[in-house]
Chain A
């Protein structure tokens, strides 16, 4: 177990290092550089000054050398300053992470609470009318553009009904829990709806497969109640592939967060990534992107652990291949 975790850890670390170099290079390929931005701010800078500044900041160096310098500083805890917020990058990111984790955690929980029972119900009687309807809804959920869904929710609940705020994070009002929670309703709802469809279909497919196994027939033959057959015997095995797929979808969830946060003006990581890329805030964009990668890798890592925990037949070595 330890050796597996160890192996997995180093593999993730390697992905992260490669990714950090790729992202660093990509950001270097974005329009302009920090000195260009200074020139825009102060037109009196002469070309000679600009060249001297580039030398000072090491911008005339090869990309790999700059990357190594950045990595060295980053490893000692110095991630630089955010241009947009004029504060150290980590200070900007801290609250954003909390906001994003709240948003993603709540919607993942809600989506699973709806999708797993729906998938099980559909799988219990395949081809029934209930199965058919659940499947249709799931297909619709997969196919709806998430940002459009968010816009429709805003139009419905904020513009027409006027009962929920269109975006932002609770600041006005009485500051009570309900007042703050109102700002979460629409973003969480749109993220939840966007992910229910996929989860339901995974759960359904896996449950149908499991219910066809011999050991389920044996369980029924011993006279176990249907409740016990489905939830006591089948569920645990049926969950195995579902858990893996959901954890692998973590990156997808992050994409959803980016869209949702941008539309609802929710001050989280997704919106920060978008704003920093659009606003040429190189330091912030770099760290925020890498943090998103780290969170995704942690999700995958947890999936591996859950996989083995749910299915003792799988040795850790197998789970790795």
Chain B
């Protein structure tokens, strides 16, 4: 059995084995799965300890950790643990959706630039360089402060209570696509000249078909790696914007806006500032390790000289 596996191991087995060798990536994957489960089970956990994210209890402010409040209570007596779990839902949701949206945008731009080349390529790449050279956070702050009514968006959307959620996903995607675009463009440029693409062209395949059926599948690995690595960045950006009061708006808790209140209270309750930051840190580092491990597994050529333990 073992002999069969070692000799006849398929592509996916090899990939899986390379991934499992990266111990930190495996631990991170498990940790992230656990965190996602905990976030999804937030209402359950709330019911279990008999506290929810919004109940104010002014008689029990700044409580130390106890069985009823595993991490104590905040400045108006809300349960810190439950709010952290709910915040995790938001941060993970924003991180994943915005990173995915940015990846899709970057893939489309990169594919067009790399495949069609010429003037379009020159224009798109100059545009990408321009976006990269911009001071990112100040720009995000402007985008986050825009008056959506003036943009002429439908009332149903602007008035929605989740608007701060959609907005942050949109603006992060709008500035976060550049890495994937450059990556995709570079590879597409090389693939474009390969025989199998030329053969497809000779057969009369349309540009759309060549891009989607012949070039894109060959780009899957670098896109997956870059997207995983960018999730961590997106979560950091979301937390910064929410911390500054421009991202996710209270009463929806996010790890970033939990820290906004905590900043004002660092003299009275330093612990409140500790937990959300630790959660952000652990999530971001886990996504970074995961991306590192995926890179080792999917793209062994790029991993020479990397620490893989």
Contact = CB atoms under 8 A, between A and B. Distances in A.
Interface string A194-229: 000000000001001100100000000000000000
Contacts of A23: 142
Contacts of B145: 30-31, 277-278
Interface string A232-267: 000000000000000010011011001100110000
Query: Ordered nearest first, which 7 A-B pairs have the shortest CB separation?
Result: A148-B277, A255-B137, A143-B285, A208-B305, A31-B147, A143-B284, A254-B135
Nearest to B150: A29
Contact of B136 (A19, A31, A252): A252
Given A32-B147, A208-B305, 4 more contacts: A143-B281, A254-B138, A259-B244, A293-B135
Contacts of A18: 130
A147 interface: yes
Interface string A118-160: 0000010011000110010001101111111101101100011
Classify chain B: how many residues form its interface, as a range.
35 or more
Nearest to A28: B150
A27 interface: yes
Given A126-B305, A126-B307, A289-B138, A251 B240 contact: no
A283 interface: no
User: Which residue of B142, B236, B304 has the most chain A CB atoms within 10 A of its CB atom?
Assistant: B142
The prevalent SS among residues of B at the interface is helix
A27 B307 contact: no
B142 A27 contact: yes
Nearest to A154: B266
A147 B289 contact: no
B146 A29 contact: yes
Contacts, number: 144
Interface string A268-305: 00100110011000000100110011011100100000
B59 interface: no
A292 B307 contact: no
B132 A19 contact: no
A151 B141 contact: no
B288 interface: yes
A149 B240 CA distance: 12
B142 A26 contact: yes
A254 B137 contact: yes
A145 B141 contact: no
A251 B134 contact: yes
A152 B273 contact: yes
Contacts of A151: 259, 262-263, 266, 273, 277
Contacts of A292: 135, 138
A15 interface: yes
A29 to B, nearest CB: 5
Contacts of A152: 273-274, 277
Interface string B118-152: 00000000100010111111110111011100110
A208 B126 CA distance: 31
Contact of A159 (B134, B139, B143, B266): B266
A251 B146 contact: no
Interface size class of A (residues with CB under 8 A): 35 or more
A143 B232 contact: yes
A297 B150 contact: no
Nearest to A150: B263
B275 to A, nearest CB: 10
A33 to B, nearest CB: 10
Contacts of B137: 254-255, 258-259
B6 interface: no
A274 B244 contact: yes
Contacts of B151: 29
A297 to B, nearest CB: 6
A300 B142 contact: no
B281 A139 contact: no
B284 A296 contact: no
Given A18-B130, A29-B147, A251-B133, A155 B266 contact: yes
Nearest to A256: B137
Contact of B130 (A19, A29, A135, A154): A19
B130 A15 contact: yes
Interface string B275-286: 011001100110
B115 interface: no
Interface in B257-278: 259, 262-263, 266-267, 270, 273-274, 276-277
A142 B288 contact: yes
B309 interface: yes
Contacts of B263: 151, 263
Nearest to B125: A321
